[in-house]
């Protein structure tokens, strides 16, 4: 007699056991202990702002109380939206008292803090600082007098946000800065009048921030490059921004049509699978190794067809530590070139994994 057990009966004890072990994690009652997802499903969000001491203030209002407002120089809450971004917002349940806000008057200068101190990094065109001709990029601020009848504050122990807070004030009022400049070792004092900034001023600042970000990213990308052929992966471009000779040779020979490309991989996989047809479970094994065999065969064929590794290395003057570094750099520097796809095809002939690295690069 043959017994047949239903799969559902066999699985039932396992399901029961797993069900008995599993427990849904409890949501904290304190919003400060909740994750972003837990806040969202609880109908709450997180908002932050900095006070005059540069300390962060956090609240967790209901989402319905939050209204996103356009970016500007105005002092506001910054609240998290449903995709995790923090945006300038009004919170009806937690309005910011006027006494807790810095003034709306600005001097039209961007500052940066380094190990040496606070420096003027940029002046807004036609802003109070620029039109006064008393402040210059590179000036170091060593003290501030927020009001002319008040006491001066040394800035040594201030945070950048604290200094900005002291600089801001009521439009039309004056402040005094004590400055140092590399061209003059003697401190000098300048008096500036605060003014209400316009939306065009804000857009200029935003554009400058975007430009700085672009330059920083470009600098970071350049650090990925090894300016010789000692790296693990040879660049298809030279330092003169033209394609390397090994790439030209690969393109002229049209190697990708027969080997090294996806075609080469498929051909190798087909040959491997044919050899395994008479082996038990051969199709299963072939499915696992065929692609790798094809890539290895195609890669070796491509390298030999363009003169071998020594030729590739000898005709390269830039290289990279990893394919990820190479993909990130090439995509940003050459991605808009009309022949970029051809160069990538040639590169992928000797580095089959490069296409994957390129697809996932940012």
Which CA distances in Å does 172 have to 85, 106, 274? 35, 10, 86
42 and 131 co-located in one domain: no
Both 75 and 172 in one domain: the answer is: no
Q: Is residue 68 part of a domain?
A: yes
Q: Are residues 83 and 110 located together in one domain of the fold?
A: no
Is 315 found in the same domain as 258?
Answer: yes
Do 232 and 335 fall within a single domain? yes
Average pLDDT on 19-28 reads 64
The answer on 297 and 182 residing in a single domain is: no
| Domain limit, last residue, from 100, 122, 141 | 100
pLDDT band (50, 70, 90) for residue 362: low
Same-domain pairing of 276 and 309: yes
Residues 6+ away with beta carbon under 8 Å from 121: 110, 111, 112, 137
**Domain contains 11:** no
Residue finishing a domain among 60, 82, 100 = 100
User: Do 93 and 125 sit in the same domain of this protein?
Assistant: no
Q: pLDDT for 129-150, tens place per residue?
A: 999 999 999 999 999 999 999 9
pLDDT at 157: 92
For residue 219, tell me if it sits in a domain. no
Domain boundary (100, 118, 152) is at 100
Does the residue 208 lie in any domain?
A: no
CA distances from 324 to 41, 217, 353 (A): 37, 16, 10
Same domain? 126 vs 249:
no
Give pLDDT tens digits for 335-355: 989 999 999 999 998 899 998
Q: How many domains does the chain have?
A: 3
Cα–Cα distance, 163 to 154 (Å, whole number): 10
Any bridge partners for residue 215, and if so which? none
Residue 216 placed within a domain: no
What is the band of 295 on the pLDDT scale with cuts at 50, 70, 90?
low
Instruction: Note the pLDDT tens digit of each residue in 154-186.
Output: 999 999 999 999 999 999 999 999 999 878 779
Judge if 337 and 319 occupy the same domain: yes
Asked whether the beta carbons of 49 and 77 are under 8 A apart, the reply is: yes
Based on the domain organization, do 85 and 113 belong to the same domain?
no
Residue 240 and residue 337 share a domain: yes
* Segments forming the whole domain that contains residue 36: 31-100
Is this model's pTM higher than 0.75 or not? no
The label of the residue with tokens 């810095």 reads 102
């Amino acid at each position: 007699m043959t017994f047949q057990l239903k799969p559902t009966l066999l699985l039932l004890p396992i399901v029961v056991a797993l069900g008995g072990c599993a427990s849904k994690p409890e949501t904290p009652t304190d919003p400060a202990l909740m994750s972003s997802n837990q806040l969202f499903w609880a109908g709450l969000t997180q908002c932050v702002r900095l006070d005059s001491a540069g300390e962060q203030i956090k609240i967790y209002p209901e989402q319905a109380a939050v209204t996103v407002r356009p970016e500007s120089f105005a002092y506001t809450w910054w609240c998290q939206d449903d995709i995790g971004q923090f945006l300038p917002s009004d919170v009806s349940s937690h309005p910011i008292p006027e006494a807790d806000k810095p003034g709306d008057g600005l001097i039209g200068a961007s500052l940066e803090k380094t190990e040496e101190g606070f420096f003027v990094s940029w002046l807004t065109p036609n802003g109070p600082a620029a039109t006064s001709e008393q402040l210059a990029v590179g000036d170091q601020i060593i003290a501030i007098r927020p009001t002319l009848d008040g006491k001066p504050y040394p800035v040594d122990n201030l945070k950048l946000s604290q200094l900005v807070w002291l600089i801001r004030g009521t439009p039309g009022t004056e402040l005094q800065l004590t400055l140092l400049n590399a061209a003059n070792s003697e401190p000098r004092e300048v008096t500036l009048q605060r003014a209400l900034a316009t939306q065009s001023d804000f857009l200029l600042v935003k554009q400058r921030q975007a430009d700085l970000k672009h330059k920083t990213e470009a600098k970071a990308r350049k650090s990925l490059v090894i300016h010789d052929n000692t790296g693990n992966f040879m660049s298809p471009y030279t330092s003169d921004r033209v394609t390397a000779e090994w790439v030209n040779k690969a393109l002229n020979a049209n190697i990708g049509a027969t080997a090294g490309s996806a075609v080469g991989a498929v051909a190798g996989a087909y040959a491997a699978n044919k050899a395994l047809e008479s082996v038990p479970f051969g199709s299963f094994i072939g499915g696992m190794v065929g692609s790798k065999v094809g890539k290895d065969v195609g890669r070796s064929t491509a390298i030999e067809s363009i003169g071998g590794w020594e030729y590739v290395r000898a005709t390269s003057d830039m290289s990279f530590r990893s394919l990820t570094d190479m993909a990130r750099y090439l995509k940003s520097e050459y991605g808009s070139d009309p022949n970029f796809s051809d160069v990538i095809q040639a590169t992928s002939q000797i580095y089959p994994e490069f296409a994957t690295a390129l697809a996932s690069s940012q």
